[in-house]
Amino acid sequence: MAIISFSQVSKRYPGGFEALKAVSFAVEPGEMLFLTGHSGAGKTTLLKLIAAIERPNGGTVLVNGQNVSAMRASAIPYLRRHLGLVFQGQKLLYDRSVFDNAMLPLVVTGQPYREAARRARAALDKVGLLEREKANPVTLSGGEQQRLCVARAVVNRPAILLADEPTASLDAAYADEIMEMFSAFNQVGVTVLLATHDQQLIGKWRKRVLMLYRGKLL
Amino acid sequence: MAIISFSQVSKRYPGGFEALKAVSFAVEPGEMLFLTGHSGAGKTTLLKLIAAIERPNGGTVLVNGQNVSAMRASAIPYLRRHLGLVFQGQKLLYDRSVFDNAMLPLVVTGQPYREAARRARAALDKVGLLEREKANPVTLSGGEQQRLCVARAVVNRPAILLADEPTASLDAAYADEIMEMFSAFNQVGVTVLLATHDQQLIGKWRKRVLMLYRGKLL
Amino acid sequence: MRAWLQHHVLSFAQTLVRLARSPFATALNVVAIGVALALPFGAYCLLGNLESVSHRISVEPELSVFLAGDAAKADIAAVEARLKAAGGVRAVRFVSREAALVELSRTAGMEEVVASLRRNPLPDAFVVTLAASDPALADRLELQFKSLSKVAHVQADSAWVRRLDALLRLGRTAVILLSALLGLALVAVTFNTIRLQILTQRDEIELCRLIGATHAYIRRPFFYLGSLLGLLGGVAALTIVLAALVVLNRDLVQLAPLYGSDLRLRLPNPEEMLATLASSVVLGWLGAYLSVSRHLLGIDPIR
Amino acid sequence: MRAWLQHHVLSFAQTLVRLARSPFATALNVVAIGVALALPFGAYCLLGNLESVSHRISVEPELSVFLAGDAAKADIAAVEARLKAAGGVRAVRFVSREAALVELSRTAGMEEVVASLRRNPLPDAFVVTLAASDPALADRLELQFKSLSKVAHVQADSAWVRRLDALLRLGRTAVILLSALLGLALVAVTFNTIRLQILTQRDEIELCRLIGATHAYIRRPFFYLGSLLGLLGGVAALTIVLAALVVLNRDLVQLAPLYGSDLRLRLPNPEEMLATLASSVVLGWLGAYLSVSRHLLGIDPIR
Ligand SMILES: Nc1ncnc2c1ncn2[C@@H]1O[C@H](COP(=O)(O)OP(=O)(O)OP(=O)(O)O)[C@@H](O)[C@H]1O
Ligand SMILES: Nc1ncnc2c1ncn2[C@@H]1O[C@H](COP(=O)(O)OP(=O)(O)OP(=O)(O)O)[C@@H](O)[C@H]1O
Ligand SMILES: [Mg+2]
Ligand SMILES: [Mg+2]
């Protein structure tokens, strides 16, 4: 059974703009795929529908067998615990250390401290920030902050990883490393959906591509 | 005479990290050039020194003939009025319209309203956002927000344009358009300094490149 | 379950750390809440003092019934019987003209006057204690006693009773006004403080929503913050009221000998102090609750 | 210059719009400031009323000098001369024993007593008005007059003077305590409100710094906000005090006939109201100034 499935999903924003029009697709568990399209095509909107940040105006969104489009507000946190999210313009907390930022998803879901700390350090190591763990995120460069966001998204071993332009402010070397990380996660069974406008990246990785054009899936 | 000149500039952040080490270079008025280097190389730091957002620990930074490294705090606003800035993670104001966001630099410097409005609309038109002028920036996609930042940076016709990864979240078509815009500004005499890790972009435009590696200029 | 407890402890500790980090703003808040709580509490204490004094005064409303100069023993006995039979009378005390003169001579300044008298000008009298300090009752009995034969004059202190009554009503109106006003001020202060905290932590809240934090998890620290602020404010209020009472007592000590009585203000007892602290915690929690209900909803997970 | 003026008008308009956008929070703030201002202002008004009453009472401190029953006309004249010659005496009035009896008979309840008197028991007396309501002076003169020949007794009302003095000191202590407390509360409220506003507009401030806005440009709207909040708070305070005085007066009207005097509280006059408004604007501006000085510095143009 599909782990994510859209059927005839459309999203109209208040103001009347139709960001998604009758989009249907299915993602199998353990798949890795790209979502692409021009600026304003609806990539971010599609990811937001999966994470229940926005609600569709029509159609059904199923995630992990649950109907996200008709979910009670109190059930949404438990859905999100199965998701790893890397969003554009996502914030780090500047009142605590890099380590504490990486710990946050584990603290929020109430993991025992020792195990949580071990996993946070492992995630920071993977993105090359372990030696900065005590630093404040303000002191990180743009790329380093982006990598910290990735570490935070994978630290609680989600079943599904959604990333919106995760390599946008990274140089080629780090972009490759991050992609390798996503791929490694995918190999152990995590479903990975990456939104990007970087055709080079898509060309290099040869995965299934969902292409949006003005809110329609091509 | 050079419009921007660094001589033996070094920057150590509190905590001891040396982000720039004895950097010297000069930019002629009307030049357009790229600043590149790996993530954490010091690109953003260098741009911040030019705009007097950070102060160097050693060496001299001259901008427009003024010694920025030893400038009084009260003179800094007037320096910045000659600069157009596009920074990573720079914010839009979500409590006013796209048009008002573009107007802001002109309002702050006290331009007469009518002329200011004309120039703001022209800038929005150039980045393809004129028809969204009444919208709230929250409703813009990531790339649209990035373009609005560019419009805001150029609206007061600065003598120097500093941009930090201005095309990071743009697809190729819009990236090209934005670069064309920068180039057009350059052609009418504006000095343009772009920090980017995008080697493709640098290859396409064939301008002078400043390459940073671990805080040193190669 | 253990994780849940751990989070409770953690968010309480975090709240403490956060307060300690901006000591100036915290101190100002605590002072504002403290003052807001101190005023109605202080007014309550003062009113308590006043009512205990007024109780002492007004518990014994009296009528003085003066007999005619020519009243015989039998007349006196007859009047006494009528007085005792009247409804609303608690006690009847006979004051002979001789006793009255002795009493008068004890009054400051009258000593010499009395000494210079050739004979006793005072009549016999009864002092009638009423069962209740009710001005209407006093008026009724005054009329009734006046009409008795051999009664020359009835002196009611119902004017005093009425005066005291009106004064206390005035005091109560003032305290109610004050409590209402300061209740409002207290709500305003706690509400705004929590609003401030929510705005300051906007990014954190957005992020926690995105990461899968439950609504209860996000609200918990604010409830702790509100209750803690309330508690600190309550402590400040108690300190202020106690300090004020001590200062006032210092002044009252100078006043006391003039009235020849013990005019010390009673300090609030432990139960009253505990009640103040408890209600300030509850009010803080309530302010947090209102503010959280209003302001957390506006924070969406992401733009 | 024109642009500068335009910005002034613009930032004032923006401040108004911003306040109107969150009417609930604004109302709470205004109420908090209003209450904080209303209490010292109200206390000031009440004290003013009290002092005008006390002035009426204490302006005429008196000593009653009773003469011996056997004092002759010549003795009386001699005493009068000595009284008039004493330092600190303003006026000396002779009250003959006949006049005193008439006065006594007018006192409530004494009428019948006086009527039943066979002969006048009262002595001749002088009422000496002192030049100042100074307890020490009263004590000194009392001793001095007592030693005069043919003077039987001197009744000083210095006890009353002392009592009133102590009471007024008590009142003043209370008002000073109150003003200090509420001054603190007022500072806390305005300071925190501006802090809140600065935090809310953090992004805008950072951005304006980056765009080349001067320090003055950035601070201006907060000064407007502080002053406007102060003004609204002042208006609220006036409303509260006037309403409270009207309510209190309603109760006092019932009290007045009992004292047989006009016990109406005086409402504040226009100058006092203007002064309150002006000082509340100044206090609001000051709160903004303190808050801006403290919190704007922490905002760097970019991270
Ligand atoms: N909250 C909103 N209200 C109104 N319109 C919105 C809102 N969010 C997005 N839009 C509009 O919907 C369209 C799709 O937005 P979306 O963010 O999904 O684009 P995108 O594919 O992620 O683009 P980019 O690559 O630039 O990030 C855009 O034109 C955008 O202006
Ligand atoms: N405020 C700060 N305090 C301490 N260290 C800092 C601070 N800001 C930056 N750094 C460090 O200085 C180095 C250079 O940072 P800078 O932001 O200039 O890098 P960059 O070249 O822009 O990288 P990127 O491409 O990732 O944005 C980084 O290692 C960063 O961690
Ligand atoms: Mg997007
Ligand atoms: Mg950078």
Q: DSSP string of A150-210?
A: HHHHHTT--SEEEEESTTTT--HHHHHHHHHHHHHHHHTT-EEEEE---HHHHHHH--EEE
**CA B213 – ligand 4 centroid, Å:** 13
Q: Would you say residue C27 has pLDDT above 80?
A: no
Nearest by CB to residue A91, choosing from C6, C207, C213, is: C207
Residue of D210, D214, D215, D300 to mutate for B, most B C-beta atoms under 10 A:
D210
Q: What is the pLDDT of residues D10-33, one digit of tens each?
A: 777 777 777 777 776 677 677 767
Q: What is the mean pLDDT of chain C?
A: 75
Q: Does D303 touch chain B (CB under 8 A)?
A: yes
Q: Would you say residue D301 has pLDDT above 90?
A: no
Percent pLDDT > 70 in chain A is: 99
Q: Mean pLDDT, consecutive 10-residue segments, chain B of 218 residues?
A: 90 88 92 90 92 90 89 88 84 88 89 90 89 88 85 90 85 83 89 89 89 89
Q: What is the pLDDT of residues A90-118, one digit of tens each?
A: 678 888 899 999 999 998 888 888 899 99
Q: Which residues of B touch D (CB under 8 A)?
A: 48, 51, 53, 73-74, 77-81, 83, 85, 87, 89-91, 93, 95, 104-105, 107-113
For ligand 2, atom 4, which residue shows the shortest CA distance?
A139
Q: Which residues of A touch C (CB under 8 A)?
A: 48, 51, 53, 73-74, 77-81, 83, 85, 87, 89-91, 93, 95, 104-105, 107-113
pLDDT bin (cut points 50, 70, 90) of residue D302 is very low
| D240 within 8 A of D43, measured Cβ to Cβ | no
pLDDT bin (cut points 50, 70, 90) of residue A192 is very high
| B155 within 8 A of B120, measured Cβ to Cβ | yes
> Does ligand 2 lie within 6 Å of residue B19's CB atom?
yes
What residues form DSSP beta bridges with C210? none
For residue A7, what are the CA distances in angstroms to A26, A61, C34?
Answer: 8, 7, 59
Q: Would you say residue D37 has pLDDT above 60?
A: yes
pLDDT bin (cut points 50, 70, 90) of residue C47 is low
DSSP for D42-82 reads HHHHHHHHHHHHHHHHHTS-EEEEEEPTT--HHHHHHHHHH
Q: Do D153 and C109 touch (CB under 8 A)?
A: yes
Q: What is the pLDDT of residues D194-219, one digit of tens each?
A: 887 788 788 888 888 888 888 888 88
Q: What is the pLDDT of residues D62-75, one digit of tens each?
A: 778 888 878 888 88
Report which ligand 2 atom has the smallest distance to the Cα of A144: 26
**CA B169 – ligand 3 centroid, Å:** 8
Would you identify the CATH topology of the domain B1-82+160-218? Rossmann fold (3.40.50)
Supply the pTM of this predicted model: 0.71
Q: Which of B140-144, C285-289, C295-299, D269-273 has the lowest mean pLDDT?
A: C295-299
pLDDT bin (cut points 50, 70, 90) of residue D173 is confident
Q: Which of A142-151, C49-58, C122-131, D25-34 has the lowest mean pLDDT?
A: C49-58
With both helix axes pointing from N to C terminus, report the angle between C215-259 and C158-200 in degrees, rounded to the nearest 10: 150
pLDDT bin (cut points 50, 70, 90) of residue D58 is very low
Task: Show the domains of chain C with their CATH numbers.
Answer: 2-57+169-297 (no CATH), 62-157 (3.30.70.3040)
pLDDT bin (cut points 50, 70, 90) of residue D3 is low
> Does ligand 1 lie within 6 Å of residue A43's CB atom?
yes
Average pLDDT on A42-60 reads 91
Q: Does C117 touch chain D (CB under 8 A)?
A: yes
Query: So what's the pLDDT on residue D133?
Result: 67
Q: Would you say residue D47 has pLDDT above 70?
A: no
Average pLDDT on A178-192 reads 89
Contacts of A217 (CB under 8 A, 6+ apart): A23, A24, A25, A210, A211
Evaluate whether ipTM surpasses 0.90. Answer: no
> Does ligand 1 lie within 6 Å of residue A191's CB atom?
no
Percent pLDDT > 90 in chain D is: 0
Q: Does D95 touch chain C (CB under 8 A)?
A: no
Q: What is the mean pLDDT of chain A?
A: 88
pLDDT bin (cut points 50, 70, 90) of residue C247 is confident
User: pLDDT: is C251 or A133 the higher one?
Assistant: A133
> Does ligand 2 lie within 6 Å of residue A141's CB atom?
yes
Q: Do C163 and D112 touch (CB under 8 A)?
A: no
Residue from D280, D220, D231 nearest D4 by CA: D220
User: pLDDT: is C286 or B23 the higher one?
Assistant: B23
For chain A, give every domain's residue range: 1-82+160-218, 90-157
Q: Residue D128 is inside which H or E element, if any?
A: strand D125-130
Query: So what's the pLDDT on residue A16?
Result: 82
Residue of D19, D21, D24, D28 to mutate for C, most C C-beta atoms under 10 A:
D28
Contacting residues of C for D159, CB less than 8 Å apart: 258
pLDDT bin (cut points 50, 70, 90) of residue C184 is low
> Does ligand 1 lie within 6 Å of residue A213's CB atom?
no
Q: Does B174 touch chain A (CB under 8 A)?
A: yes
**Cα-trace Rg, chain D:** 32
Q: What is the pLDDT of residues C218-237, one digit of tens each?
A: 888 888 888 888 888 888 88
User: pLDDT: is C262 or C205 the higher one?
Assistant: C205
pLDDT bin (cut points 50, 70, 90) of residue D163 is low
| B191 within 8 A of B17, measured Cβ to Cβ | no
Query: So what's the pLDDT on residue C222?
Result: 87
Q: How far is CA D19 from the centre of its chain?
A: 33
Q: Which ligand has its closest atom nearest to the C-alpha of A48?
A: 1
Average pLDDT on C53-72 reads 69
**CA B139 – ligand 4 centroid, Å:** 26
**CA A21 – ligand 1 centroid, Å:** 13
pLDDT bin (cut points 50, 70, 90) of residue C4 is low
Query: So what's the pLDDT on residue A5?
Result: 92
> Does ligand 1 lie within 6 Å of residue A40's CB atom?
yes
**Cα-trace Rg, chain A:** 17
Angstrom distance (rounded) from CA C125 to CA D301: 91
Contacting residues of D for B79, CB less than 8 Å apart: 212
Q: Does C39 touch chain D (CB under 8 A)?
A: yes
Q: Provide the number of CB pairs (under 8 Å) joining chain A to chain B.
A: 79
Q: Do A173 and B38 touch (CB under 8 A)?
A: yes
Q: Would you say residue A32 has pLDDT above 90?
A: yes
Contacting residues of C for A90, CB less than 8 Å apart: 207, 210, 302
Average pLDDT on A122-143 reads 87
Q: Which ligand has its closest atom nearest to the C-alpha of A46?
A: 1
Query: So what's the pLDDT on residue D255?
Result: 58
Query: So what's the pLDDT on residue B33?
Result: 93
The dihedral through the CA atoms of D285, D291, D296, D299 has a sign that is negative
